[in-house]
Each structure stands twice: as structure tokens, then as C-alpha cells.
Structure 1
């Protein structure tokens, strides 16, 4: 029963949630909250997959009892996990599918992480070779005629602005661009996009992962725009985005994702979500994160008195 509930729940999230969440207008008004909701949904689906795989070996009541005991202070009264090694056709099939999924995930993770590392090493090499550090602005200036600005995560990274962008941007817009890129670094957006890229490439048939990754690319830009707009005026950030996006289009940086939507959003300045709406969506995030565990613990909760007797 619980096994089926978890499977249906995961399927609804993986295939039913992406379209309405992708089309929801509120995500542009509260991009940070939308990022959290997309991530919570992905974590929820992955956690259900792990729970379902665990249920192939460990009885549901044993997992539920363990979850209940973890949040109690009454000790572990003779409780132990029961693991059955009796091999049945469903169990063998489940183990094969689970092993294939894990191997696929590891293979893609190594490929994506390796590609990202090589890209960062190449860009750091270019910056060291062709760039210089500006101590007043605390940025690296790359000797390149193109207009671009981007950030390099990591201990030896930072914000990089090309000579072309430095000449094209007025001081206020340059300040907004630097604030935008620093928001990416502070928010660890590269880690979010790397993790979701792994899921999207490993399981392309799951819309939640593919659509979610593309949405998160847009949402982290909106989040960084908001951070820059708090330091500068929104119209200054919009002008900086347009200036950097003007032909020739940059390959890297601030102005290569959802430019038109971002500029319109900054110029129209829609009001933020009401507190009640934020609270309601925050509750959804909590449910996404904890509902699988609660469902798994239901049998143990019905016998709660036993654990503290």
C-alpha cells in the first residue's frame, strides 16, 4: 500500500508538476522561493526513489520505527533493522533497475563535473594570462574587446569583466554588473545548476529534472538581478543587461539568459508576493521535503506508545 502511494506521489511530481510550476507567473515575482520549490520537488522525487529501493530489502515497519526513534528521546528499546536476503523476481528486478540508475547517475556526474572543472581551469588560465586584478573594484579585468562579465567560482575565482564591457558600461551599470555576479557566487548558483544538470542528463525522460534545470537557469539570473537592483536602481540593472546583450552576443556572463523577460521585469517592477502567498508556498516546500518520510513512518506512528513503553 505505502509502496504504491510513494510511487504515485513520485510520478505526480515528476510528470505533473513541471508544467504548472513552469508556467506560474508568481515565480518571476519571487524567484528565490521558486528556486527552493524546484529543488525541494527534485529532492522529494530522489528521496522517494531511495526509499522505494530500500523497501526492497528492509520492511516498511522497520524503516518507520527507525524514523520515529530518531526523533524521540526514549532510547532504542530492543529495536533492530530486519533485512531479508531472500531473492524474489521483483527484488532482483528492483536491484537491477536501482543499480543501473545509480551507475548512470555516477557516470553523468563525473562527466558533468569534469567538464565544468575543465571549463573553469581554462577560464582561470585565460584570466591569469590576459587579465589583471583591479584592487579598487576587486574584480579581474580580461583583455578582450567583447562585452562580457561572468564569475569564476572557487577559492581562486571571482568576478571577471572584459575590457570591452569596462569601456561600454557607465560606473553605475558596472557596479550593478559586479553586484549581479557576486550574487551568483554568494548563492552558490553553480552548484545548483551542476546538480540539476546531472539529474537532467542522467534521466532525460523525467520532465521535472529537464524542465527544472532550464527554469533554474532563468531563476538564478532573476535572483541575481534582484540582488543587484537592491544595490542599484532596477532600471540601471536593466540598462546594463541590454548593453551587455547588444551584438555581438556574449558567450559567457550576465546577459545570455532570458534577456527580454529580465529587462521587462526590472522595468515594470511588479510588487512582491503577499506574505500569505509566500507562507502558503513555503508550506508546500515543507511538504515536498518531509511528506515521503511522514508517509513511510505512518505505520510506526500508529504504534507510537510502544517505542516509549
Structure 2
């Protein structure tokens, strides 16, 4: 089990920095953002499982040749007292590993709860501060000169919010493109896709992997919304709307916005079934590696 614990620690280290760094650098080279999103989810799950598994496997190594046997041995209280087969340091590591696992689960639940609360308060404010759009009952108009557009998910009727500044800045075709983009976020439930990465970032502040994952996933879901919108409206309208609304005070554009505009200037990329299958298979395999190593610790070594 010690060998397995060491391998899990190496895998956790790889998934904490070099692998996320390489994938983060390639986030603007993919024609299949969905497959990359699945790969990011696998990295997060596999990295957490490898880290927690390494600690738990090392802690339980004296109790059995594999993890199931070691867990069963914990029922023997003599393993937990002085003179038993489990030193105090390993017991402390076991507790820390389980606490970190509980911390991750609680942060995910807390993030979901907080998001739901914030949406409820936000919806109440929109009822007071905005007015329904004359042409679309699911769109509300916010009286501000800043060009603002966003979507508000809901278990009932989702809402798209546009500002008066944006409405006056864009023509009708561009406004429709913006609405289609925001509707794509709602339809594809990008808010749900973001939750695990937000929880991971909150649970592991200061680590590179969750920070890179969150930044990459945010870009990927914007690209996915662009691709969904351009299937319903002319690509030129969406590109023009982004150019008008995304410019900063100095007229410059962020690198991620420039990449989106560059992507919208070309035909919609054709997703290769072979590439998607390869990436998703890699994601599944990446998740299975630490899972098999943890559950089968010591069975093969």
C-alpha cells in the first residue's frame, strides 16, 4: 500500500500544477470546448481523489494489504490505541484526509446553497429595479447607461437582463444575438457546470489548479454560448455586439474577448468525433486511475 500511496501522491502533484498548466495554455486552441470542459472536470475529481487517497492509503497501510481490508481492520479498536498497529501520526493523517474530503463536499453544498440564495435575492431586486421587455416577457430592462447583459438561472422561468445602455448601443439584430447568447447559457445550464469549480476554488485557495480550472472553464462556457448562438443568428451580428459591448474605457479588449472575436471571424469549427472520443476517454481514464489505485491498494504490488 505504501507504493500505491506514493504513486497517488505523484499523481496528485502532477494534477495540481503541470497538467492544469498545460491544459490552461491550450484552452484557446480547441475546436471542442465541451470535451475540454469534461477533461477539466476529470482533472478536478482525479486530483482531489489522488490527494485524499494518498493520505488515507498511507495512514491505513499498517492495517492491511489493501484498502478494503484496512478499513475493516479499523473495527478492531486495538489498532487505534498505543501499542496497536496504527501509529498516532498515521491516525492524525487519516483524520486530516477525511476532514479535507468533508471540507470539499461541504464547500460544494455551500456553494450551491449560496448560489440559490443569491439568485432569489437578485430576482427580488430585479422585480423592483427593472421592467419587462415589451417584446419578450422573459427579458427585463435595467435602467443604466452601462452596456450590461446577463442571464439569471431559475428552477422556474429563467430571465435575461439587458440594460438600457446596451439596448441603445446595439441595433435589433445585435440585441437578438446577445439574447441568444445569454439564452444558451440558460439552456445549457452553465451555472451548474460552474459550481464544482467555484467550490474547488473556495476549498483550495492559493493552489494553481483550481484557479486555472475556473479561468479556463469560464472561457470555455462563453465559447460554447457563442457557438450555440451563431447557429441561430448571423455570426456577424454576434461579433459586432461583442465588439461594441466588451471594449474597456481605453477601447481595448481583453485577450479572451479578442480570441472569441477571432473565432467568430471564421466558420464554426467542425468537431472531430475522433478527437472528442479521445479527450473524453482520456478524462474517464484519468478518473479511473486513482479510483482503481485507491480501491485496489496493495492488490497488485
- Normalising to structure 2: TM-score of the pair? 0.79
Structure 1 pair 278/234, CA: closer, same or farther in 2 (3 Å)?
A: same
Q: In the alignment, does 2:248 pair up with 1:244?
A: no
Structure 1: gaps (5+ residues): 66-79, 250-254, 303-309
Equivalent residue for 1:37? 39
**Secondary structure in 1 aligned to 2:66?**
helix
Equivalent residue for 2:4? 2
Equivalent residue for 1:12? 14
Please list the CA deviations of residues 48-82 of structure 1 after superposition, one character each: whole Å capped at 9, or x if unmatched: 234345534585635399xxxxxxxxxxxxxx944
2:27–2:220: 8 Å Cα contact kept in structure 1? Answer: no
How many residues are paired up? Answer: 283
Name which of 241, 264, 267 aligns with 1:266.
264
Please list the CA deviations of residues 30-65 of structure 1 after superposition, one character each: whole Å capped at 9, or x if unmatched: 111111111111011122234345534585635399
Shift of residue 192 of structure 1? 2.9
1:60–1:296: 8 Å Cα contact kept in structure 2? Answer: no
**Secondary structure in 2 aligned to 1:46?**
helix
Shift of residue 96 of structure 1? 4.5
Counterpart-to-counterpart distance in 2, 1:267 and 1:29: 14
Alignment of 1:143-292 (within 5 A): 143-155=143-155, 157-246=158-247, 258-269=256-267, 271-292=269-290
Shift of residue 17 of structure 1? 0.3
Equivalent residue for 1:127? 126
Shift of residue 21 of structure 1? 0.6
Shift of residue 296 of structure 1? 3.7
Runs of 4+ in 1 over 6 A off after TM superposition: 299-302
Measured on the aligned residues, the alpha-carbon RMSD in Å equals 3.3
Structure 1 pair 266/190, CA: closer, same or farther in 2 (3 Å)?
A: same
- Normalising to structure 1: TM-score of the pair? 0.77
Counterpart-to-counterpart distance in 1, 2:229 and 2:147: 18
Structure 2: gaps (5+ residues): 81-86
Counterpart-to-counterpart distance in 1, 2:255 and 2:175: 18
2:5–2:55: 8 Å Cα contact kept in structure 1? Answer: no
1:221–1:257: 8 Å Cα contact kept in structure 2? Answer: no
Equivalent residue for 1:305? none
